[in-house]
Amino acid sequence: MRKIIFDTDIGVDDAFALAYAAKTQTILGITTVFGNVSVGQAVKNARLFSQQIGLKAPVFRGCSRPVGLAQVTNSALVHGSDGLGDALHNPFDEQADNAISFIIDTVKSLPGEVTLVAIGPLSNIATAINLAPEIIPLIKEVVIMGGAFGTHGHAGNVTPQSEFNIWKDPHAADLVLSSALPVVVLPLDVTHEVLITGEDIRQLNVPVLTQISKGYLQYSLEREGFEGMALHDTLTISWLNHPEFFTTVKSPVRVVTEGITLGQTLRRLTQLASRFNPFANCAEQTLCLEVDAQKVKQAFLTSL
């Protein structure tokens, strides 16, 4: 069981990840960020979903817009206009204490013990290390759902090359991924391999998951052509519980921050002799490129 800060733009698969984390990790706090929904809606969703699953963790409000480019989109088609499938009444307030201060103060008070789980745009993490770079060596690990490296044909889900969380704030992602932080990346290469069906979800002991996932399942079937929903964010928690279910490679990572491949994640495929080496001075990160999907799915279902 790790001590985690759960950083989220809470939509449907984020909620699944939170339910899994609540069972298997110590959640020090939930920091919210814009992405699937506005940051205010993310605060409300974090409070509502925590209440539904009986989780008592403080909720904080983070970035309302990217560190870099503003991408004017939302995820209503996938996650519903409220981010939780438009299935629940949400009476909660959207004001909350500052997420960036919470990240910095918590890491400083527990040096070497805090894992950041980041499953939305990386704006909060980038801002925290920008403001307080001294926390970088104090963070145990940053576990990110984001990016796409093309294994099994999973290139992008928002553009042909780019994954949503990275594309939403490519500058923040490039800062975090090329920093000295120890990062583990769960890209679409693995997250798109683990699907659960409506029947799997109904059999869980968490009725709210059935309620919020109806629209997402319908979207996957009608728009993406497969039955079931990709567990995406949930795989960050799978990594914490069962790293042995993943095959990893070590590589520095950069993010394209302009042009038609905006938001694409690049890893080093060969050693470069060129004088322009985009990976110079970038730490080697851990990239999960293969997964035992059956084992990940089974462990998740069993735990819930």
Work out which of 4, 5, 11, 60 binds ligand BDR, going by CB under 6 A.
11
**Minimum CB–partner distance for residue 294 and Ca ion (Å):** 23
Interface with ligand BDR includes 251 (CB under 6 A)? Answer: no
**Minimum CB–partner distance for residue 181 and ligand BDR (Å):** 19
Question: Is 232 an active-site residue?
Answer: yes
Residue number, 45 or 241, with CB nearest to ligand BDR: 45
Q: Pick out residues in 146-165 that bind ligand BDR (CB under 6 A).
A: 157, 163-165
**Minimum CB–partner distance for residue 253 and ligand BDR (Å):** 16
- Which partner from the list ligand BDR, Ca ion, none does 157 bind, CB cut-off 5 to 8 Å by kind? ligand BDR
Stretch that binds ligand BDR, among 9-17, 133-141, 196-204, 266-274 (CB under 6 A): 9-17
| Count of other CB atoms within 10 angstroms of residue 11 | 30
DSSP letters for 56-75: ---EEE--SS-SSPPP----
**Minimum CB–partner distance for residue 276 and ligand BDR (Å):** 30
Question: What are the residues whose beta carbons fall under 8 Å from the beta carbon of 155, sequence distance 6 or more?
Answer: 148, 161, 188
Interface with ligand BDR includes 174 (CB under 6 A)? Answer: no
Catalytic residue among 89, 154, 232, 242: 232
Work out which of 19, 119, 142, 194 binds ligand BDR, going by CB under 6 A.
119
- Residue 222, judged by CB atoms within 10 A of its CB (0-12, 13-18, 19+), counts as exposed
Instruction: State the number of binding residues for ligand BDR (CB under 6 A).
Output: 14
**Minimum CB–partner distance for residue 83 and Ca ion (Å):** 9
* Contacts with Ca ion, residue ranges (CB under 5 A): 14, 119-120, 233
Radius of gyration of the chain (CA): 18
* Cα gap 226→188, rounded to integer Å: 16
Interface with ligand BDR includes 16 (CB under 6 A)? Answer: no
Amino acid letter at 138? Answer: L
Residue number, 174 or 233, with CB nearest to Ca ion: 233
Hey, is 235 helix, strand or coil? helix
- Which partner from the list Ca ion, ligand BDR, none does 102 bind, CB cut-off 5 to 8 Å by kind? none
* Cα gap 200→294, rounded to integer Å: 13
The residues with which 59 forms a beta bridge, in sequence order, are 30
Per DSSP, the chain holds a count of helices (H) and strands (E) of 12, 13
- Which partner from the list Ca ion, ligand BDR, none does 216 bind, CB cut-off 5 to 8 Å by kind? none
Strands (E), the chain: 3-8, 26-32, 59-61, 97-98, 114-118, 139-145, 183-186, 195-196, 229-230, 246-251, 253-255, 265-267, 285-291
Contacting residues toward ligand BDR, per CB under 6 A: 11, 13-14, 36, 75, 78, 119, 145, 157, 163-165, 232-233
Which residues are known to be catalytic? 232
